[in-house]
Chains A and B, each alone.
Chain A
Amino acid sequence: MAETLHQTRLVVNGVPHTVRVPARRLLADCLRHDLGLTGTHLGCEHGVCGACTVLVGGLPMRSCLLFAVSVDGAEITTVEGCRTADGGLGPVQQAFQDCHGLQCGFCTPGFVTTITAYLRDHPDPTEEQARQAIGGNLCRCTGYQNIVASVLRAAELQRREGRGR
């Protein structure tokens, strides 16, 4: 039996897309397979690891726990949308490079989106708050110390950028 397809509209990183997908298409798979945005990584597929975190209407959510049809019309930001306007590394990405915040890089997209949203609301976190902010994301390489340092470095870069304006 052919599955019913549902027309679904998503605005991803500012670009509108219309896709026709089965109802069971996870948002993560829609981004990767239907839109070719493979920056979003699927780890556990049951909401534990945080690798697939994207911003929906600006709020971090697990894209493995959302059906694309159920966020019809939403504004989505993926890791591809966390770069600068001219295509360079965004402040969070730059901080990860500066602080060696990644090794294999699989979990990094989920960290970048989560931290981007967190710093928007908390521009000057303490180390303890930085640790809390990434509490829902797993990394099996780094031991987290350099990711915590990256959160603090990203905050510093953003403040500097804010002053430069």
Chain B
Amino acid sequence: MKPPVFEYHRPGTVDEALAMLAEVGHDGKVLAGGQSLVPLLNMRLAAPRHLVDVNWLAELDEVSCDPAAVRVGALARHARVEHDPQAHDAVPLLRQAIGEIAHATIRNRGTVVGSLVHADPAAELPAVLVLLGGTMELARAGDGGRRQVAAADFFLGPLESALHPGELATAAVFPRPPAGTGSAWVEVARRHGDYAICGVGVLVTLDQGLRVEAARAACISVGPVPVPVDLTDALGGQPHDAADWAAAGRLAAEAVDPEDDIHATAAYRRHLAGVLTTRATRAAAAHAAQRAEAAR
């Protein structure tokens, strides 16, 4: 189908965009990559009266790395972040997860911040931000209109985030994991590029002796928001190449509370959370060991 009528606004600066968003309030929606929004419009599942097109805001088109984090501006496309060598070096989980988002064609247009704001419970990036303990940078018109929201407080429910009407998410900050950390992203989808039936991201931190110091996971498609699971109790103190990965899987399977839908039963999703966590912890520990070796 074709999208419904809307009024189109093309601000030239962030301040102009914020003024427009303040004016249109609840009736407005931000258009960035549009790879989730435009399908909703085409299928007439959404009909905002105003679209504020931020594609001309060059000041938001940035990816920067500092010793603490990778900061991704609202206009940085998935493909750019995926292929940025510095971002990959700082937070390898970004490339690991972004490679599983839809297809390369979609990633050429879709934005990282747009995926986060969309807050789809089957999307990869919300889990990545939660797992890393990242933050969202939000702005609204007027003095004191800037605020930061921790990932743990940003995702409220399916397609629901803490972003208020009239606010613009200007950037997402993905902290660098501590030294000795490896990561992995694994997921199962019916077809390559589809939304995952279940997906799991894992961070494993090794100590100097290459034993597991800390491990945690975030699971998608098994709840209304990404489900973080601390796995340190199952793996702590064990060697990087021979830990009880299945115990980590069992912890994750117990922690999630999925529901049945047309794609999978709750029991199958729970099973996947366990199996994928088992695989991801093993892979993340190997990744951590490999990075430790390379740093030597």
Contact = CB atoms under 8 A, between A and B. Distances in A.
Contacts of A46: 38-39, 42-43
B78 to A, nearest CB: 12
Nearest to B8: A23
Contacts, number: 82
A22 B3 CA distance: 11
Given A29-B2, A47-B35, A136-B193, A70 B53 contact: yes
Given A6-B8, A29-B2, 12 more contacts: A23-B7, A23-B8, A24-B6, A45-B42, A47-B38, A50-B105, A60-B104, A67-B34, A69-B10, A70-B55, A136-B102, A136-B104
B106 A47 contact: yes
Interface string B1-36: 111111110100000000000000000000100110
Contacts of B38: 26, 46-47, 64-67
Interface of A: 3-4, 6, 22-24, 26, 29, 45-47, 50, 53, 56, 59-62, 64-67, 69-70, 114, 135-136
B8 A60 contact: no
A64 to B, nearest CB: 7
A64 B3 CA distance: 10
Interface of B: 1-8, 10, 31, 34-35, 38-39, 41-43, 51, 53, 55, 79, 102-106, 108-109, 192-193
- Chain B, interface SS category: loop
A136 B103 contact: yes
Contacts of B2: 24, 26, 29, 45
Given A23-B51, A46-B42, A136-B193, A3 B5 contact: yes
A114 B103 CA distance: 11
Contact of A24 (B4, B79, B102): B4
Contact of B53 (A45, A50, A62, A69): A69
A118 to B, nearest CB: 8
A61 B5 contact: no
Which of B3, B7, B8, B103 has the most CB atoms of chain A within a 10 A radius of its CB? B103
29 contacts: A3-B5, A4-B7, A22-B5, A23-B7, A23-B51, A24-B2, A24-B3, A24-B4, A29-B2, A46-B42, A47-B35, A47-B39, A50-B103, A56-B108, A59-B108, A60-B104, A61-B105, A61-B108, A62-B35, A64-B42, A65-B34, A65-B38, A65-B42, A66-B109, A67-B31, A69-B10, A135-B103, A136-B102, A136-B105
